[in-house]
Amino acid sequence: MFHGVVPPLCTPLTEDGEVDTRSLERLTAFQLDAGVHGLFVGGSTGETAQLTDGDRDIALRTVIATAAGQVPVLAGAIDTGTRRVLEHARRARALGAAAVVVTAPFYVNVGAAEVRAHYELLHAAVDLPLVAYDIPSNVGYKLPPDLVTDLARRGVIVAIKDSSGDLAGFQRVLDGAAAGGLDCLTGSETLADLAMARGADGIVPGLGNVDPHGYVRLYEAARAGDFTTALAEQRRLTALFAIVDIADRSRVGRISAALGAFKAALVARGVIAHPRTQSPLLPLTEEETRAVADRLTAAGLGRIG
């Protein structure tokens, strides 16, 4: 059902922090031109945690309208508790999303029973496929592989996006997924070819915003069993991914460093108009921005159009 390259779209903003729908349309078109297989709106890379519900909806509506049915659009329903997620999921359904992507509850300390209840309640209440989103660095909880495969077997979830960085754990999900018909997507920018080699169905790379063509080439090569080509592409993308390490980390946190770099790169490539990130995230400095541009040049990525 879900496969291929499904970039978690950035949310371009105007200088005063509103959703820049023109830039988002261009970003969406850029991705479609590159041949991506789906689009994920409202993920961590989309600064969803920083967006109001209104802005989340504007972003989702814009992408769905631009995609015009060419590829499925998955919508993040990222929030702390079941009822809050449910509201997001219902709005996403009304706007035409193909699925909703849901993390474990956060802010509260939960155990496996509560996480299970969370997904089961949502499955019962939302008339859309459910994608589990494993991102322990953000929610402080790692989805246990056994829970994931059990939810799949019982039809509660149809896919998983694994952003845990724990490839051995993802392997356990992949091994258990065959029975349940679970689509397995990796969120790793730098281990995508390996995840594909191990049976992943697709890739959800934040860096795909900047270089979707690269990830599409990587995916197609891996799909065709040509892991040598996939690895060569992966190496180029891994080198490019170093842009997330440019920001001075004594100044900003990990997320500002990564999203600031993606947006700086998208501005440099002429895809979006402004590098602004949503508060409290901070953009790169001018000097850091120039370093991003240098890396793009080294990776052979110029301005589009």
Question: Phi-psi region for residue 42, left (φ > 0), alpha (ψ -120 to 50) or beta?
Answer: left
Whether 107 is catalytic is no
Cα–Cα distance, 242 to 226 (Å, whole number)? 25
CB of 227 or CB of 273, closer to its own copies? 227
Query: Min. distance of Cβ 26 from its own copies in angstroms?
Result: 23
Cα-Cα-Cα-Cα torsion 128, 132, 137, 138, nearest 10 degrees, comes to 20
Which CA distances in Å does 141 have to 105, 113, 127? 9, 13, 26
Query: Min. distance of Cβ 279 from its own copies in angstroms?
Result: 4
Active-site hit among 119, 161, 215, 263: 161
Q: 57: which DSSP letter?
A: H
CB of 34 or CB of 203, closer to its own copies? 203
Cα–Cα distance, 266 to 156 (Å, whole number)? 36
Whether 133 is catalytic is yes
CB of 29 or CB of 49, closer to its own copies? 49
Q: Write phi, then psi, for 195 (nearest 5 degrees).
A: -60, -40
Active-site hit among 119, 133, 141, 215: 133
CB of 230 or CB of 272, closer to its own copies? 230
CB of 72 or CB of 214, closer to its own copies? 214
A 10 A CB-CB count for 303 gives 9
Residues that bind its own copies (CB under 8 A): 17, 44, 47, 49-52, 55, 78, 80-84, 87, 105-111, 113-115, 117-118, 121, 137-140, 165-168, 171, 175, 188, 190-191, 194, 197-198, 227, 231, 235, 238, 249-256, 278-282
Strands (E), 58-158: 73-76, 99-103, 130-134
Q: Which residues are catalytic?
A: 133, 161
